[in-house]
Structure 1
Amino acid sequence: MLENLLLARYRFALECLSPIEFRSFAGSTLRGAFGSVFRRLVCVTRSPTCEGCLLRQQCAYGYVFETAPPPDSERLRRYESVPRPYVLDAPEGSRLAFAEGERLHFSLTLVGRANDYFPYFVFAFQRLEESGLGAGRQEGKGRFRLLEVLAERADGGTVPVYTPDSGLDTLRLPVIRGTDLIQKAQRLPTDRLGVRFVTPTRLRFEGKLTDEVEFHHLIRALLHRLSSLLYFHCGTEPAMDFTRLIEQAQGVRTVRRSLRWVEQERYSRRQRSRLQMGGFTGEAVFEGDIEPFLPLLVAGEYVHIGKGIVMGLGKIQLVCEEGKEDA
């Protein structure tokens, strides 16, 4: 069911030329700063919003950042937006400060035809060198240099695709296909598996945020997310029997759950207010017939799960044995 999924993952490395400080979750700041520059670079109408813009369906910014269903869409036609085709993975851990001379690393995952717009991401971060990142930019903080970008292969290896000296090499961009994920899933245990929630995860069930995670909660969220990504960004109607899969998932038991709620907030320029973005982190272990869901879970390691995904929330890692991540 994931054979037509197409992903690309890139690892960015920045050198801090002055201290960089984030006031809250770094992923939110990265996304906001990049989005502002991206919009200035490509928007030709200078309209305050994309809503109602005649160029929205052809605009790189509109497609990546304010993704709307096409006029002829058979899905979500009444919605203003659909799942974005990217995920920005913030620097790991809860660090909010980086000293001059340190390196700041983050990852970018692009889905389907969004990979065609990868050069825009590199160009936008080049332009961000001029304005900087984070707090205190007026006092000289937040300056950085984009050192390199590596593209990740399906086997976990990397290929350099950008350095300041060599420029951008778009001829060497590897992609990760759904068939690669299916092959990886075949190497996982089929009756017991741990899921580590690396970044705060905002998972809804029956309209409410929950931290009492059951296996079928994960599968419901992954089915909806992946089917939408396949439809809107990979040009395919996935063959997924939602009802049958969810019924099967309800038979998988939660044998251990060690989760904690992490409160955090971000500032929304659009709404001009601070928004609560708390979620749970930790680990849960499941037992039962897990085999039918392994490709979905492997894909979830790339596309994340829950709300706030584009700024790095909902990152998961599969754990085959206690304390041992899937290789």
Structure 2
Amino acid sequence: AYDLRALEQILPDGSHVPIDFGQDQTPVTLETATLKEWLNSMDACRDSRMIIHLITPLRLRKQGKYLGDFELEFFLCCVARRLEALNCIFNNDKPIGKDVWSALKRRFRGSEDTKSNVKWVDFGRYSSRQRAHILLGGLVGSVEMSEIDSLHQRWLRAASIVHVGKGAAMGLGKIVITNGKTGR
């Protein structure tokens, strides 16, 4: 049995604020922050080197097949697609459109030098509904990048807030971004 004693909200500046529940058990002190505020509150990587740590299996599907290696351009497109979907669902916003997608893809193309240290790991679970064992494998490990510009850094930081790829709703696709030199 669990006993819930308190809830806290983490704000973009990193501070923790207790969530106060009123008499009718609804939160009364929630502050909201936009994704832009979160991204602006994070320190930029000064040496333009970053490491992406794939914490839970990353499942990126391209042309009907799962990728066996990390592709930065495709990963960033998946991040944009995930953020677009969340924005449409939670902000009742419209999709960004073909012209914006084309411009984003052009911006994501780049000469970022990446050194990939990832491997495919298979996990599984039993689905009672399907009465079958379901594979949930994906890429785990790390990808080191050098010469990454501020635009790409912002998209990577956004990816560290939301899970990316197939199975994101089940906890797959969690990444952590660290500075290439200091590890933070």
User: Structure 2 length normalisation: TM-score?
Assistant: 0.83
Q: Distance in 2 between matches of 1:306 and 1:324?
A: 24
SS at 2:6 equivalent = strand
Identity among equivalent positions (%) equals: 25
Contact 2:49–2:146, Cα closer than 8 Å, also in 1: yes
For 1:148, the aligned partner's letter is A
Distance 1:296 1:315 in 2: 14
Q: Which residue in the other structure is 1:310 paired with?
A: 169
Instruction: Indicate if the aligned counterparts of 1:152 and 1:158 stay in contact, CA closer than 8 A.
Output: yes
In 1: Cα distance, 2:42 partner to 2:121 partner: 30
Per-residue CA deviations over 1:240-272 (Å, capped at 9, x if unaligned) read 722222233231334311112222112223212
Closer/same/farther in 2, CA of residues 291 and 151 from structure 1, 3 Å limit: same
Matches within 5 A, 1:1-327: 143-161=1-19, 168=25, 170-184=27-41, 187-189=44-46, 191-237=48-94, 241-322=100-181, 324-325=183-184
The answer to whether the 8 Å contact 1:252/1:290 transfers is no
**Structure 2 contact 121–139 (Cα < 8 Å) conserved:** yes
Gaps of 5+ in 2: none
Counterpart of 1:212, as a letter, is D
Moved more, 225-234 or 171-180: 171-180
Give the 3 Å change call, closer, same or farther, for CA 158–261 of structure 1 in structure 2: same
**Distance (whole Å) between structure 1 residues aligned to residue 161 and residue 155 of structure 2:** 10
Measure the CA separation in 2 of the matches of 1:253 and 1:293.
9
TM-score normalized with structure 1 length: 0.49
Aligned equivalents of 2:67, 2:145: Cα separation in 1: 17
CA distance in 2: counterparts of 1:216 and 1:304, whole angstroms:
17
Q: Return the offset for 1:320.
A: 1.2
Alpha-carbon displacement from aligned partner over 1:50-106 (angstroms, at most 9, x marks no partner): xxxxxxxxxxxxxxxxxxxxxxxxxxxxxxxxxxxxxxxxxxxxxxxxxxxxxxxxx
Contiguous gaps of at least 5 residues in structure 1: 1-142
1:221: Cα distance to partner? Answer: 0.3
Instruction: Quote how far apart the aligned CAs of 1:209 are.
Output: 1.0
Amino acid at match of 1:284: V
SS in 2 for 1:145: coil
Q: Which has the higher contact order (CA 8 A, sep 6+)?
A: 2
Match of 1:55 in 2: none
Q: Distance in 1 between matches of 2:104 and 2:46?
A: 18
Post-superposition offset of 1:185? 5.3
Using the alignment, how far apart are the partners of 1:185 and 1:144 within structure 2?
Answer: 34
User: Does structure 1 retain, via aligned residues, the 8 Å contact 2:112–2:148?
Assistant: no
**Separation (CA, whole Å) in 1 of partners of 2:96 and 2:122:** 37
Quote the offset at 1:186 in angstroms.
6.2
Whether the 8 Å CA contact 1:265–1:275 is kept in 2: the answer is yes
Kindly name which structure, 1 or 2, has the bigger radius of gyration based on alpha carbons.
1
SS of equivalent residue, structure 2 residue 78: helix
> How many aligned residue pairs are there?
181
Are residues 254 and 210 of structure 1, via their aligned partners in 2, closer, same or farther at CA, if it must alter by over 3 Å?
Answer: farther
Task: State the one-letter code of the partner of 2:92.
Answer: G
